[in-house]
Structure 1
């Protein structure tokens, strides 16, 4: 009888077992141990499950009751309504530009565990470290493979950062760059209809540059709070200075007009605590009709210069948008700030009114000014100037002699003086001279 049962079980064929992938966590059935069908991890990363473990994953006893579930990591954090924050602020961000090292995207994978966003894991190089290249070609191919592996990982993190953190969609590479970047692609809103800016990649010391337009800033800050954006830029990516940040105040009461800003300029309303008085330019364009009245095609005042760190534009926004409704007024006072601290995102109204007396007179409510501090940047510049001053006094003649010896070949001069423990991309001239002595 036992022999008949054994024959019947063999006739029924092999039984599929449950396996769990330790890389991605997926559970599947297979007759033999094989690679993961989801992430294609190797056989060594597959673990067979007992019938009890397989049953636990589908049994209702595996799940906790609602009252026993752990609270959300954001349950103790006060919820900030980004749209309400945007609407209540009298000052808005109309343009935003920033850059960061592409390698700093690896920090997103670390913070993603606590932020609720799922970023791809960094590739493991431990297995490749055991591979020994036998020829120069193999070494080059291995280095190229590692570089391509890391590049693909960072590009995927960048995609998740744009879509999940910033809430944008993006288009394909356009084959043309901007701001000295080799290539770029456009940013759109989540529907893909409205153009929101562009991103430059490739070159420029391996950095990524974001240039978000006014439409993009509106989409960003109506869906993400400014504190949220500040956290990801400053704390995760390590950005300390924004390349550009435009702050704007809209007047619909016909009070802060172009003529009013011109009068404020004559009374020193645009002067800052330090520096000379900024330049003034009248940008009006108009024609005279049959009644002798001015018909404006452009009404604007410009204070400062495009090259300065602070540049003001006060203009008729209604005229720019070609709105013809009678009795409607729309004047915008906009300031373009360059190389400004990323902390401006935490208090845009305070930083705005702290610029000058004219900016302080615009909001209808009392706002405590928050002065923009660039002391850290100035301290670094002073340290560099101090070091260069003493280097010139001690080694200036030696550098001049080396320039004459090497016929103004700066690369040879630098490699002759640079330390041996410094990683550089070209052969040390000092080592060449040592070799020639032998």
Structure 2
């Protein structure tokens, strides 16, 4: 296939990676486009089933290298409640038909009441189908000047992962999803699908979005952030003054307990946190996280989070993986999951280790008897150690 034909394909279609996720591929240099054939399964001509076309493989700095390296850690957006009426009735709770109601004032009031009820039922379906979460019961208090709220729960209904607020504020619904919630949401869906749905509801801006990059080599630690700040690397690409800088190191007789660098302020549009997540989680492995909090940012960030992350400032642009320490997406996911599991296990050992040992030593109970006694018959147990379903799969991958 000629290079020009390959470019037309790249510009017309979305490619999928080996996990089935959509990814955008555009050649950096038209002369470097390579498109090979794969006839191993049939005599028909097919494109190679690689995550990205080979034209990216010799590029040390490219969007392809960043793909899958930046994740979402917090998400907040607003949807008008009346927008749920646009959903097709054949797939969602059906809207009431006004002609079937009495042509009276009471009939009109009843019709309006049922419309509001259907809006909330469709809202609940949206949370389940699109976000992969569940809604808790209604609470007669809200936040951010709303009058009511409902808790967002994970798929099993065990862990609280955020909330929605409604009532007032121009009849809108405010969604706030925590970092833990983002793990569940982006296990159920991806940025492209979420962008599609938010666009459908005419949402153009995310009230808040946190992006993060995990480093397991120590290349981008707090010292690196300090050096980058002195070089002015946190200045936005459009110029301006250097933002505020602060650092915190917690120590005791045993050594460093925590370290974090903050650049900017919580009220600014861009706020950076670079911290030792290994120390925070209590694991004895190198694990640094670079996290940026963005406010009132376009929903297009969901389509290319890594590309947007790199374009924020010279500091984030410098976090570009070279061949020397590049990590595959699967390896990074498994590393993060294993360290998270270790941290949860350490927490459980600190909280309950001695009590469990007493049950074994003094009460002579078996491991099965202890587990049954601790869990009980209440299906609502859990939450603190809850994790997305794929965590159990990836540690066995």
Contact 2:21/2:190, CA 8 A, preserved across alignment: no
What does 1:40-59 align with in structure 2 at a 5 Å threshold? none
Q: Give the structure 1 partner of residue 87 of structure 2.
A: 108
Instruction: Output the CA distance in 2 between the equivalents of 1:156 and 1:81.
Output: 36
What does 1:226-305 align with in structure 2 at a 5 Å threshold? 226-234=191-199, 236-274=200-238, 276-287=240-251, 289=253, 295-305=255-265
> How does the TM-score come out when normalised to structure 1?
0.57
Say if 1:82 and 1:167 are closer, same or farther in 2 by CA, change over 3 A. farther
Q: Does structure 1 residue 200 correspond to structure 2 residue 160?
A: no
Say if 1:92 and 1:83 are closer, same or farther in 2 by CA, change over 3 A. farther
Q: Does structure 1 residue 362 correspond to structure 2 residue 332?
A: no
What does 1:80-119 align with in structure 2 at a 5 Å threshold? 89-109=68-88, 118-119=91-92
The match for 1:311 among 266, 271, 282 is 271
> How does the TM-score come out when normalised to structure 2?
0.63
Q: Give the structure 2 partner of residue 329 of structure 1.
A: 286
Structure 1: segments with no counterpart, 5+ residues = 1-75, 134-138, 367-438
Pairwise CA RMSD: 2.7
Q: Does structure 1 residue 164 correspond to structure 2 residue 129?
A: yes
Instruction: Output the CA distance in 1 between the equivalents of 2:185 and 2:242.
Output: 32
User: Alignment length, in residue pairs?
Assistant: 270
Instruction: Output the CA distance in 2 between the equivalents of 1:334 and 1:233.
Output: 24
Say if 1:156 and 1:81 are closer, same or farther in 2 by CA, change over 3 A. farther
Contact 2:14/2:22, CA 8 A, preserved across alignment: no
Instruction: Output the CA distance in 1 between the equivalents of 2:128 and 2:292.
Output: 29
- Stretch of structure 1 that moved more, 165-174 or 277-286: 277-286
Contact 1:104/1:237, CA 8 A, preserved across alignment: yes
Contact 1:271/1:277, CA 8 A, preserved across alignment: yes
- 1:275 Cα offset (Å): 5.1
The match for 1:123 among 92, 96, 121 is 96
Structure with higher RCO (Cα < 8 A, 6+ apart): 2
- 1:205 Cα offset (Å): 1.0
- The DSSP-based 3-state class of the residue aligned with 2:87 is helix
- 1:261 Cα offset (Å): 0.3
Q: Does structure 1 residue 340 correspond to structure 2 residue 340?
A: no
- The DSSP-based 3-state class of the residue aligned with 2:79 is strand
Question: What is the CA deviation profile of residues 67-114 of structure 1, one whole-angstrom value per residue up to 9, with x for unaligned ones?
Answer: xxxxxxxxx99777778679961000111100011000112236xx5x
Bigger radius of gyration, 1 or 2?
1
